[in-house]
Structure 1
Amino acid sequence: MSLIGGIRPPIAVLSVLLLTLAGITALTLGKPAGVLVPKAVLTSQQYVAEDGAVALRTSLDESIRDLTNTATLFNEGQPVSADTVLDKIGNVYQKWRGTAVVEIKSGNLLAARGENVPLTAIDRSKLSAKDGLAPRMVRMDNGQTRLVILAVLSWEGKPQQLLVASSSLTFPGVSLADGRAIGVVDSTGQVLSSHGNLDTKRAQQQLKSFATAAAKKAEQHPITAKEPGAGGYTGVSGHLTGGAAQDMRTVGGYATLAAPVAGETTVASGLGLTVVTQVDVEERTAQLTRPAFGIAAAGALLVIGGLAVMVLLGTVQRPLIRLFLESRRLTRGDLARPVTVPKSGEAARVGAALERLRRQLQGAPADAEAPASRRGLGARALLAVCAVLLLAWSVPLMLVLNRADDSVRVPSQIVRDQKSRTATVSDRVRRALNEGHADLAAVAALIGDRTSAEDMKTVLERTVEDHDRYQSVYVLGADGTILAQAGSTPHHTAGKGPSTKSVEVTGEGGKTPVITATAEAPGRDGAAVVAEFRIEFLNALLGRQGMGDVRVLDAENRVIGGDAGYLAFQKAPSHLTPLLGKKDAYATVQRTGGTVRVAAVAPFTGGGEAKSLQWKVVSWQPASGLAIPEYSLQNRTVLAGLLGLTAAAACLGWLHIVVVRPLRELARQAEALAGGDRKTVLYPRHHDEVGAVARSLELIRQQLQEQRRGRDGGTRTPAGVGRN
């Protein structure tokens, strides 16, 4: 018999699967779900740490790139004094704690602004080496750590100068409300910078403990640190659980600084830094189920499954095996004993046909009266009965039992994290637009000193190449004429002069909004440098894991950008209406129409040119996607039902394909053979019980043919003799 065919394997596999599923059901659904800190809360801390790592990496990389690009622009212009360089940098950017210009050869300090830059950490003799100008981490006398960034100022005929800027390890825009703390850790586990709620000795000790654990975990490779197929953040990240005090437990997250594209590196991601966060959350036991439920469900499955298997054994397997034995007996010539005919179904039809064939082998004519056939339920009907039995167990688990209704409790920390993460994204968008305008202002300051369109075009092309946030940059004259342009074709109305707004949105009625920044070029009679932002750049800032749907809305609550699936300038979803009037970041749990979702809004706050836009960022996600106890129990219950349904469909489908369909065809062929069809050859479909019966019927057909030929030959011989 075939190992995968026949009647026995499907029934045996079904029995094993049902027993296994009963055990799984008893262990998973019968296990008391005493959850102190839901997994969703822990995962949320990981996402907060990833947000902080993204913000820090972006800030450091932008600081390095901006200083380098600014030095390049100065080098392409006329020589200026060190004070002029620092003044122009200070007017455009306010991101560095301190700046200085040093003459490389002599080491003389030519100018300085802000806090004292740690110049003693710079070896001027190694600046010409391959990594001589690479940024470096320097620990100050006060214990704080600074990132020192270097760039060379070089003009023909003048000694080379070193432009130095120091940047602190801060997290621009990361919300630290509700008692959260955040820190930067190096590869040895030392805390380089910390912010937030660290007023108590316990909080400080916990951060150090988290820092040591995070530094050790950061040694893993980003691919091996995640479960297969997890995807998500390109660096190493995870969550941490600390000690408890009374009914509060400290939880946290960690994330290494990683490039936005997997496999690539940036200057900041190569510094070996890790971001660690921590917050105290309330421990609350959620007793959702009792062991009796899982045991009862497993017991019901054993009873129903046992009944289904008994039906298959008694009405399908045993009759088919008996037919196999009876057919082999007839082929061996044992015709004395009548065939034992099964009670019903296709097996009864085949058994009745075998009995008729036995009589025909004994000499009875093919048209002799056939014995009464007991039809009853066919094999397909029996499979349907078994399917109904198994569905009676699976369907309630999938659709009825352990449902998490709209009264489900969403942990308050999840709501707070949704608010703080939305505020972080809002600030990232605002800072990105401010940064884009600041870069444009730096370009405009240098464009003002240039007269030829060719020189301006060179600067604009470098700007588009160095800053992927722009899709088009051009110099617009006061009369609306484009004097120089780089990038894609501008969305500019001919004859329209520069806008008086630093940042604005146009393009209503089109497929995408057009976000433009304008910076006046000094000394060019009202001309300005205009840049159009790529909408993809804006949308990329919104795509954060674990936040659900994120949208940027304008002052009229129309959608400007989103992480996925939106129409430009469409109205915000109606369920967000209660949130849109909030002046500060706000989050809540919405319960409408049986749907539970966590929603948050964060208007632009802080300064900069982008504040005048009065934009806001909104986010929402269904609570059903969160790993909280009620939904986890519901998911396990649904999974148990799906496993039962899958086992039933697989095994009963296997039986139908391998046994039932061939058996129905065999019954038709057996009745035709018993009715006198001696020409149709019977071929077995599978090497199993049904195939064995088919082979026996074929042998019987051949015996009947030989019998008829012998009978016909005996009657023809006398007639032949008479004619001779």
Structure 2
Amino acid sequence: MSLIGGIRPPIAILSVLLLSLAGITALTLGKAENVLIPKAVLTSQQHFAEDGAVALRASLDESVTDLTRTALLFSEGKPVSADAVLDKTSSVYQKWSGTAVIEIKSGKLLAARGETVPLTVIDRTKLSGEDGLAPRLVRLRNGQTRLLALALLSWEGRPQQLLIASSNLKVPGVRLGAGRAIGVVDSTGAILSSDGALDAEGAQHQLKTFATAAAKKARQNPLSAKEPGSGGYAGVSGALTGGATGDRRTVGGYASLAAAQPGDSTVATGLGLSVVTQVGVTERTSRLARPAFGLAAAGALLAIGGLAIALLLGTVQRPLIRLFLESRRLTRGDLARPVTVPRFGEAARIGRALERLRRQLSEEDHPDHAAPAARGGRRLGTRALVAVCAALLLTWSVPLTLLLNRPDSSVHIPAQVVSDQEARTATISDRVRRALNEGHADLSAVAALIGGRTSAHDMTAVLERTIEEHPRYESVYVLGTDGEVLARAGHKPHHATGERPSDQSLEVSGHGGKKPVIRATAPLQGQAGAAVVGEFDIDFVNALLRRPGLGELRVVDAKGQVIAGNSGYRAFQKMPGHLTPLVDGKAIRAEVQRGDEVRVEAVAPMLGGGAAKTLDWSVVSWQPASRLDIPAYTLQNRTVLVGMLGLTAAAACLGWLHIVVVRPLRALADQAEALADGDRRTVLFPRHHDEVGAVVRSLELIRQQLQGQQRGRDGARSLAGRN
């Protein structure tokens, strides 16, 4: 018999699968497991730390890039004093805690602004090497740590100067909320900066413990640190669980600084820094499974599966094997006993045909005078029996897949998850605001340094360098007082001919088009009425919103029109109606929306200063509670999984049975009846080496025997006619 064919393998494998599934059901749905902290809370802490790491990495890289580009633009222009360099730089950027300019050869301090920059840590003899101008971390006397960024100022005929800027390592724009703390950790586990709720007893010690664990985990390779196929954050990240006091337990998250794309590296990622967070959550016992339900479901599967297997054995397998044995007996010449005819379906038709063939072989019925027998047993065939078995298994699988263990609108959503949705949405909102402000500041720096240039070639060179260093822009161009484009770089601008420069720092146009046009304008110094204009790439804004664990995010304007999003949207479409009351509040908040679908929603207006303040935008986020890894939905997912496994097992095994047994058996029944009716010309070939194929081979041997008998009778008639 064939190894994968025949009647036995599909039924046997179905039995094993159903028995295994019953065990899985009992263990998965019946094993009581009390959950104190839902996994959704821990995952949220991981994402919170990732948000902080993304914000810190972007801030540090932006600081270094801006300082280098500013020094280059100054160096390409006319020589200016060190005080003028710092004054112009400080008027455009307010990101550095301290700046200074020194003469490299003598070490003389030429100018300084802000806090004192630690100049003694800079070795002026090694600035020309490959890593001479690389940013470096410096520990101050007060214990704080600063990042020093260096850039050269070079003019012909003047001694080389060094522009230095120091930045603190506080994570920018992260909304901590009540009870949360955040810290920046180096590769040794030392906390370089911290912020948030650290006054409580043991909070500092717990943060140090988390920092040590985070630094150790950050040394792993990001690929090996993740579960296969998990994707997500490009660096090393995870959740941490600390000690408990009463019903409060400290949990946290960590994330190493990583580039936006896996495998890439930036200045910030080379510093070996990580971000670690901690927050206290209330432990609440949640039962993940109900033992009685799991045991009842497993018992029901054993009963229903046993009935289905018994039906297949009694009405399909045993009759087919009996036909196989009966057909073999006839081919051996044992014609004394009548054929045992099964009761149902195609097996009964084949059995009746074999009995007629036995009588013809034993010449009890003369084939020349025998009329075709009436065919019966078609109403309940093997296909119907298999369908009955499928219906039995569906009565167990379908309710689990579609109906049972479904949380209602009163499902408990952990308060920390709602708080994190609010805080992370506010962080994303601040990140968008800072990105727009940085973009406008870059244009202001370009406008300040390009003002003295009148050549279109010189202006274009500066614009091309700007758009190459800052992919946030789709196009950058210089507008004259009459609205004429004097120089441009990047894509063709969305600028109407003759349209004068706007007096708004940031504005949105493109209404009615395929995408919004976010335009930043900076007056060109030295040329009244002219300006440098940059059009933001909307994909850059969309990319700022793509953070896991927040669901759908949209940037909406004061009229509730969508400007950007992390998934498919239409430009200037109205935001979903269920978010309108939330956005109208004009405050950072989150809530659980209960109805046909339970959702966690949050809104965060763009608060703070800068050019983006005039836009009056908000970031809204929402996600179905069913996406959260909390006990109620975990139980639902497990129940659906068990039901799907049952459907898969039934479809696979019964489909296999239908292909290798039921369809060939129906064809065999027609062939057997045709042979019994007198068709001696059609040669019968077995398609498979199984029970059905064996019966076909036996019928072919019977056909040959009947042909021999027919030739013998014809020969006898011919001889009798001559005599």
The answer as to 2:401 corresponding to 1:398 is yes
The offset of 1:332, in angstroms, is: 0.9
The offset of 1:288, in angstroms, is: 5.3
Q: Describe how 1:152-551 pairs up with structure 2 within 5 A.
A: 152-287=152-287, 289-363=289-363, 364-366=365-367, 367-368=369-370, 375=377, 377-551=380-554
Q: Scaled by the length of structure 1, what TM-score is found? A: 0.98
Q: Using the alignment, how far apart are the partners of 1:549 and 1:527 within structure 2?
A: 40
Task: Confirm or deny: 8 A CA contact 2:371 2:677 kept in the other structure.
Answer: no
Q: Using the alignment, how far apart are the partners of 2:339 and 2:273 within structure 1?
A: 84
Aligned to 2:586: 583
Task: Confirm or deny: 8 A CA contact 1:352 1:371 kept in the other structure.
Answer: no
* Secondary structure at 2:515 match in 1: coil
The answer as to 2:61 corresponding to 1:61 is yes
**Higher alpha-carbon deviation: 530-539 or 445-454:** 445-454
CA RMSD of aligned residues (A): 1.2
Q: Using the alignment, how far apart are the partners of 1:662 and 1:178 within structure 2?
A: 71
The offset of 1:369, in angstroms, is: 5.4
The offset of 1:645, in angstroms, is: 1.0
Q: Using the alignment, how far apart are the partners of 1:588 and 1:532 within structure 2?
A: 35
Match of 2:603 among 601, 623, 633: 601
Q: Using the alignment, how far apart are the partners of 1:79 and 1:709 within structure 2?
A: 119
The answer as to 2:669 corresponding to 1:664 is no
**% identical aligned pairs:** 72
The offset of 1:523, in angstroms, is: 1.1
The offset of 1:525, in angstroms, is: 2.6
Aligned to 1:640: 642
| Counterpart residue type for residue 413 of structure 2 | V
Task: Confirm or deny: 8 A CA contact 1:53 1:256 kept in the other structure.
Answer: yes
The offset of 1:373, in angstroms, is: 6.0
Q: Using the alignment, how far apart are the partners of 2:487 and 2:376 within structure 1?
A: 94
The offset of 1:287, in angstroms, is: 2.7
Q: Using the alignment, how far apart are the partners of 2:219 and 2:528 within structure 1?
A: 57
* Secondary structure at 1:208 match in 2: helix
* Secondary structure at 1:473 match in 2: strand
Aligned length: 720
Q: Using the alignment, how far apart are the partners of 2:428 and 2:317 within structure 1?
A: 64
Q: Using the alignment, how far apart are the partners of 2:643 and 2:266 within structure 1?
A: 48
Task: Confirm or deny: 8 A CA contact 2:373 2:677 kept in the other structure.
Answer: no
CA 359–254 in structure 1, closer or farther in 2 if over 3 Å, else same: same
**Runs of 4+ with >4 A deviation:** 369-374
Q: Using the alignment, how far apart are the partners of 1:422 and 1:219 within structure 2?
A: 29
* Secondary structure at 1:512 match in 2: coil
Task: Confirm or deny: 8 A CA contact 1:478 1:527 kept in the other structure.
Answer: yes
Q: Using the alignment, how far apart are the partners of 1:383 and 1:93 within structure 2?
A: 76
Task: Confirm or deny: 8 A CA contact 1:356 1:370 kept in the other structure.
Answer: no
The offset of 1:263, in angstroms, is: 1.1
The offset of 1:374, in angstroms, is: 5.7
| Counterpart residue type for residue 549 of structure 1 | E
**Higher alpha-carbon deviation: 215-224 or 503-512:** 215-224
* Secondary structure at 1:595 match in 2: coil
| Counterpart residue type for residue 207 of structure 2 | L
Q: Describe how 1:22-41 pairs up with structure 2 within 5 A.
A: 22-41=22-41
Task: Confirm or deny: 8 A CA contact 2:28 2:289 kept in the other structure.
Answer: no
The answer as to 2:686 corresponding to 1:684 is yes
| Counterpart residue type for residue 628 of structure 2 | L
User: Could you give the per-residue CA deviations for residues 365-394 of structure 1, whole angstroms, max 9, x where no partner exists?
Assistant: 235256776626211111111111111111
Task: Confirm or deny: 8 A CA contact 1:512 1:535 kept in the other structure.
Answer: yes
* Secondary structure at 2:709 match in 1: helix
Match of 2:564 among 561, 565, 569: 561
Task: Confirm or deny: 8 A CA contact 1:33 1:629 kept in the other structure.
Answer: no
The offset of 1:77, in angstroms, is: 0.2
Task: Confirm or deny: 8 A CA contact 2:35 2:288 kept in the other structure.
Answer: no
| Counterpart residue type for residue 684 of structure 1 | P
Q: Using the alignment, how far apart are the partners of 2:434 and 2:650 within structure 1?
A: 57
Aligned to 1:619: 621
Q: Scaled by the length of structure 2, what TM-score is found? A: 0.98
User: Could you give the per-residue CA deviations for residues 391-431 of structure 1, whole angstroms, max 9, x where no partner exists?
Assistant: 11111111221111111111111110000000000000100
Q: Using the alignment, how far apart are the partners of 1:155 and 1:30 within structure 2?
A: 78
Q: Describe how 1:114-153 pairs up with structure 2 within 5 A.
A: 114-153=114-153
Q: Using the alignment, how far apart are the partners of 1:197 and 1:105 within structure 2?
A: 46
The offset of 1:583, in angstroms, is: 2.4
| Counterpart residue type for residue 277 of structure 1 | T
Q: Using the alignment, how far apart are the partners of 2:719 and 2:148 within structure 1?
A: 118
| Counterpart residue type for residue 632 of structure 1 | T
User: Could you give the per-residue CA deviations for residues 149-206 of structure 1, whole angstroms, max 9, x where no partner exists?
Assistant: 0100000000001111111111111101121111111111111111111112411111
| Counterpart residue type for residue 20 of structure 2 | T
User: Could you give the per-residue CA deviations for residues 551-593 of structure 1, whole angstroms, max 9, x where no partner exists?
Assistant: 001111110111111111111110101101122211000113x
**Higher alpha-carbon deviation: 169-178 or 9-18:** 169-178
* Secondary structure at 1:163 match in 2: strand
* Secondary structure at 1:29 match in 2: helix
Aligned to 1:112: 112
The offset of 1:140, in angstroms, is: 1.0
* Secondary structure at 1:281 match in 2: strand
Q: Using the alignment, how far apart are the partners of 2:87 and 2:660 within structure 1?
A: 85
**Higher alpha-carbon deviation: 316-325 or 179-188:** 179-188
